[in-house]
Amino acid sequence: MTVTAHIDISTPTGRRILRELQTHKRVVKIDYPLPVGEDGLTKKTYSVEETFDNLYEKLEEHYGVDLRKV
């Protein structure tokens, strides 16, 4: 049997409960939902690689040099 619980981890009690659940890795699987915007749709998230590519593009525009090759 599987139980789904919604825990508010913005409170100290919620974080304590989450830490306790994380200690039981054999029987507990924790899924973190994607953030939802004000319109109810899932917000766009970026991977680390996408974030750094965007950063390097902006730095290249500003300085005129590709910093990945420096």
Q: Where are the domains of the chain?
A: 1-32, 35-70
Residue 53's pLDDT band, with cuts at 50, 70 and 90, is very high
Predicted confidence at residue 32, as pLDDT, reads 83
Residue 14 has pLDDT above 90, yes or no: yes
pLDDT of residue 58: 95
User: Is it the case that residue 36 has pLDDT exceeding 90?
Assistant: no
CA distance 48 to 53: 9
Q: What is the mean pLDDT of residues 33-49?
A: 86
Average pLDDT over residues 1-22: 93
Percent of residues, the chain, with pLDDT higher than 90: 59
Alpha-carbon span 61 to 55, nearest angstrom: 10
Q: How far is CA 3 from each of CA 6, 21, 30, rounded to the nearest angstrom? A: 10, 13, 11
